[in-house]
Amino acid sequence: MSLNGKVALVTGAAQGLGKAFSEALLKKGAKVCLVDVQVKEGEATTAEFQKKFGKDKALFVRCDVTSKDEFEETFRRALKHFGHLDIMVNNAGIGNERDYIRMVNINLTGVITGTNLAIQAMSRENGGHGGLVLNVSSTAGLTPRAYFEPAYSGTKFGVVGFTRSWSFNPHAQKMGIRFACLCPAFTATRLLDGANTILPEEARKMIEMVGINKVDSVVDGFMQLVEDEQCNGAVMTVVARQGIKYHKKPHALSKI
Interatomic CA distance for residues 73 and 26, integer angstroms: 23
Query: Does the annotation mark 100 as catalytic?
Result: no
- Check if the beta carbon of residue 87 is closer than 8 Å to that of residue 134: yes
Point out the catalytic residue in the list 100, 147, 152, 246.
152
Q: In what order do the strands lie in the sheet with 131-136?
A: 58-62, 31-36, 7-11, 87-90, 131-136, 177-184, 235-239, 243-247
Find all residues with CB under 8 Å of 21, minimum gap 6, and list them. 10, 13, 89, 91, 219, 222
Interatomic CA distance for residues 153 and 139, integer angstroms: 9
- CA–CA–CA angle 176, 27, 240 (5° rounding): 85
- Catalytic amino acids? 152
